[in-house]
Amino acid sequence: MLNTFSLIFLAALLLMCALRLWLAQRQISYVVAHRAQVPASFADRIKINAHHKAADYTVARTRFGRVGLAVEVAVLLAFTLAGGLQALHDFWSARFDGLPYGVALIVSVILLAALIDLPLTLYRQFVLEERFGFNRMTLRIFVADLVKQATLGLVIGIPLLLAVLLLMESMGPLWWLHVWLFWCAFNLLLLFIYPTWIAPLFNKFVPLDDAPLKARVEALLARCGFTSSGLFVMDGSRRSNHGNAYFTGFGKSKRIVFFDTLLGRLQPAEIEAVLAHELGHFKHRHVLKRIGMLFAMSLGFLAVLGQLIDAAWFYRGLGVSAQSTALGLTLFFLVGPVFTFLLTPLLSLMSRRDEFAADRYAAANASANDLVAALVKLYEDNAASLTPDPLHSLFYDSHPPAALRIARLQKA
């Protein structure tokens, strides 16, 4: 039986879908309209065939995103108003109670969603990425990754889930505060153990052995006052032709990681400029600020869930007649993205602001021209569109549009 909250949920879902489809269509139309000619500011750096590839890749990904949206909405409605979650509750409540029931319910929802998403993941990796020359993953590696992810999910996820459900059921009205504190502690622990315990399960990391490049990088680190536990090269080419570099870890476990594809494409001065950009994020404490923002948002969401967990209208409005801690938690995380979608442009704006700040730091501590050269190569290698729709970019993009970003660097 639909209630007022059902109508609010459907209205929010309709708004989200309409906005996402409208933005997607704008992106496709704009990129196609600007496909014929390389933007003037890139005319001497990007060949026309590379520009065509980037446009076609962007359009193909955006169109595929619309298919993903349709599946996402169908799954959400199937679990909620169509009675899927109620059916799972009926099945598991007849066999378990207490914490085992809660774990079984939530794990079954996760597994079903993952199975439904699996064909999309396979298509994205072995058809879409393959078509544009980015896929280097074999089916054997894909299956091995899947098994590792599932194993990690069981080894880490089930104890985590048990702890959360136990806190929710035993800590009284302020359970959400205890869950938040536990969640924060878990995430901080994960930051420490990920580089040395989890990441090596999926990729091979070897110390950077290019002596001149290593000396150059270490000189940059010394100038910037940055210490790390090592410089590593990751075998990203086993799975993809995309290139990148990143920091990982926290405190003394910080690592600097270069994709082997990045090292094979950029010159030493360009690599130094890219690393200086990443150091800019560190110096401006962007990572710490984002962790703080994540913790603040999670506190707010859990406080809202604390008010909804015993509200019968919340369950009935989403197609569930029963009430339980596990059901409330599952429903909240199923429908939460629908109501928080409009926060996307704000988060994107904050991320772009950080990217500009990191670019300024790189220009001051390395070379703006080398960073421009590196970015142009990365845009070309990753088939990133040089002509995204301005509104689509404003809403979604975590990095500034290429033309605007490079124009600012050239001024620097």
Question: Is 286 flagged in the annotation as binding?
Answer: no
How confident is the model at residue 294, as a pLDDT?
A: 94
Transcribe 73-100 into DSSP letters. HHHHHHHTTTSHHHHHHHHHHTT--HHH
pLDDT digits (tens, 9 = 90+) for 250-279: 666 677 888 888 888 889 999 999 999 989
How confident is the model at residue 192, as a pLDDT?
A: 83
Q: Does residue 11 have a pLDDT over 70?
A: yes
Q: Would you state the structure tokens that stand for residue 244, as one six-digit string?
A: 């990148």
Q: Does residue 241 have a pLDDT over 80?
A: no
Question: Is 281 flagged in the annotation as binding?
Answer: yes
- Does this model's pTM top 0.75? My answer is yes
Q: Does residue 163 have a pLDDT over 90?
A: yes
| Residue type present at position 169 | E
Alpha-carbon gap, residue 115 to 109, rounded angstroms: 10
Cross-strand bridge partners of residue 109: none
pLDDT digits (tens, 9 = 90+) for 54-64: 999 999 999 99
Active-site residue, selected from the candidate residues 72, 270, 359, 370: 359
pLDDT digits (tens, 9 = 90+) for 365-393: 999 999 999 999 989 988 899 999 999 99
Query: Is position 145 annotated as part of the catalytic site?
Result: no
SS3 assignment, position 399: coil
Listed ranges 165-169, 215-219, 263-267; the one with the highest mean pLDDT? 165-169
| Residue type present at position 41 | S
Active-site residue, selected from the candidate residues 72, 270, 278, 370: 278
Alpha-carbon gap, residue 328 to 314, rounded angstroms: 8
Question: Is 392 flagged in the annotation as binding?
Answer: no
Helix/strand/coil percent split, the chain, to 5: 75, 5, 20
Query: Is position 129 annotated as part of the catalytic site?
Result: no
